[in-house]
Structure 1
Amino acid sequence: MAMRPLSLPAALPALLPTILIAALAAPAPAVADLSPLEKAMIVMAADLSDAVAAPGRPESATALDASRKPAEVLGFLGLSSGMKAADLMTGGGYWAELMARVVGPQGHVTAFEPLQFYSDKTKAEWQALLARQKGITLQTHPLEAFTASPESFDFAIMNTTYHDLYTQSEKMKIPRMNPDDFVRTLYAAMKPGGVVGVIDHVASPGDTRAIAESLHRIDPAVVRADFERAGFVTEGESEVLRNAEDDHSKMVFDPAIRGKTDRFLLKFRKPQ
């Protein structure tokens, strides 16, 4: 199989273990001789690991770390200090809290939550989160009416929610939507050079709307086409969340696979 070309940020997770081991094993003068890039990569890895390991997050969040692999995901996508970041369809704010720790006081995180999903449980989770973590703004909106100011963000992430744009539900008051509207708005909201990471449950090719509604999965080729149609460039894809043992015909909430589905991680960039 041909190797997929990787941009420098996309290559970080593969290079970090070698660089970290070499740096830690080397005598002080050798460490001092590392290039600025190698030193920056070590600092980045340490920052991401520290953000995940630092105390303060509830057990309900830390219990998800093993399956979500946040340090590896954010490292692949290139989140760093000072960025203005967005957590799209944030849920209880798992990614928003970690991103706020990484971007620090010079950055900021805006968490977007559709009103259709903003339950009493979610409200309680957010009250607690905002009380313990600075640097986050929660913004609610109808799922079908996502809005954001132009060129606001350096970074954005969607975790297992993009497929929801292909669903509709009278019970949940979700109308039939055109995902292109969402992606075009997101494109406008990203700064030139800004990165969007999309994680979702892998589906086999087929009727995208029927699969999204019945299985809560989506074919990664559909996501890639949607983003490229809006003007984004596909910069890379990580295998860090893949699981070859997942049966793509199963609904993601099936007890046999829940929490360990085969997930793709795509990295898109808005051209400079």
Structure 2
Amino acid sequence: MYQHARQSELLRFARVDAGSTVIDVFPGDGDWSSLFSDIVGPEGRIYSFVPAEVAHLGNDPVGRIRALAGKPGRENVRAISADLVALPESSPPADVVWLHLFYHDLHAALLQTRGATPADFNRAVYERLKPGGFYVIVDHVAAIGTGASNAGSLHRIEPAVVREEVEAAGFVLDAESSVLANKDDPHSLKVFDPSIKGETDRFAYRFVKR
């Protein structure tokens, strides 16, 4: 997770409020699901969505979220898993769909094993959001001109590609944040490289469903 100031800025950027319904896509250890759970309170709901395409991974992503949902005070968290593009069938209409360091994976072969594409997923998100709802994406920046070609190798994606793909689904860019920007990132290293891990240049986009 980030230092407190950056974390707080991202939470404000996400526009999650008391009573909100949030879909946290591929939630990992559930850190963001936990933070959102605190914000939305007992009247809100957090749907931690693990795509079936990655549910078999050795660290048991579904089991980890189920364990989180079973903790005291986390009654508003639900663990769900389905095919990537079955998102609309897996939860109620949402106020916010949150993707943290995951969008680039939509271009990876593993996430496309069942035929899903980034365009399919973005349309599914559009369908699932309430009018006026927000689609928030945070990811690692790739070098200009590389598009999504390094999504599988470096785990990076060019921000312009993300914007183009998401807007093609009908979304409008509502805001962007540079809170995670790092001008010293050469954009040529894998995000897990020890020299840059945890400090990659990252972009944050908030799109709205008009």
Per the normalisation by structure 2, the TM-score is: 0.89
Equivalent residues of 1:167, 1:209 under 8 A apart: no
Write the mapping of 1:122-133 to structure 2, written as runs, cut at 5 A. 122-132=61-71, 133=74
Pair 93,137 (structure 1): closer, same or farther in 2 beyond 3 Å? same
| 1:120 Cα offset (Å) | 4.6
Write the mapping of 1:59-70 to structure 2, written as runs, cut at 5 A. 64-66=1-3, 69-70=6-7
Aligned mate of 1:158, from 91, 99, 108: 99
| 1:68 Cα offset (Å) | 9.1
Instruction: Give the partner amino acid of 2:77.
Output: I
Pair 173,194 (structure 1): closer, same or farther in 2 beyond 3 Å? closer
* Correspondence 1:77 to 2:18: no
Q: Which has the larger radius of gyration?
A: 1
Equivalent residues of 1:202, 1:248 under 8 A apart: yes
1 CA distance for matches of 2:4 and 2:20? 25
Write the mapping of 1:208-247 to structure 2, written as runs, cut at 5 A. 208-247=147-186
* Correspondence 1:184 to 2:154: no
Consecutive aligned runs of 4 or more in structure 1 exceeding 4 Å deviation:
none
1 CA distance for matches of 2:101 and 2:62? 20
Tell me which protein shows more helix as a share of its residues.
1
Per the normalisation by structure 1, the TM-score is: 0.70
Equivalent residues of 2:62, 2:80 under 8 A apart: no
Instruction: Give the partner amino acid of 1:202.
Output: V
Aligned residues: 205
Tell me which protein shows more strand as a share of its residues.
2
Aligned to 2:137: 198
Equivalent residues of 1:200, 1:217 under 8 A apart: yes
In the TM superposition, what whole-angstrom CA distance separates every residue of 1:86-145 from its partner, at most 9, and x where no partner exists? 1012122111111111000111011111233333533453243122222011111234x3
Which secondary structure does the structure 2 equivalent of 1:188 belong to? helix
Which secondary structure does the structure 2 equivalent of 1:157 belong to? strand
Ranges in structure 1 where 5+ consecutive residues have no aligned partner: 1-63
Aligned to 1:15: none
Q: Among the aligned pairs, what percent are the same residue?
A: 36
2 CA distance for matches of 1:237 and 1:142? 29
Select the structure with the greater relative contact order (CA < 8 A; seq sep ≥ 6).
2
Ranges in structure 2 where 5+ consecutive residues have no aligned partner: none
User: What RMSD over aligned residues (CA atoms) do the two structures have, in Å?
Assistant: 2.2
Aligned to 2:88: 148
Equivalent residues of 2:53, 2:114 under 8 A apart: no
Aligned to 1:266: 205
| 1:159 Cα offset (Å) | 0.3
| 1:211 Cα offset (Å) | 1.0
Pair 176,218 (structure 1): closer, same or farther in 2 beyond 3 Å? farther
Pair 175,250 (structure 1): closer, same or farther in 2 beyond 3 Å? farther
Equivalent residues of 1:86, 1:155 under 8 A apart: yes
Equivalent residues of 2:176, 2:206 under 8 A apart: yes
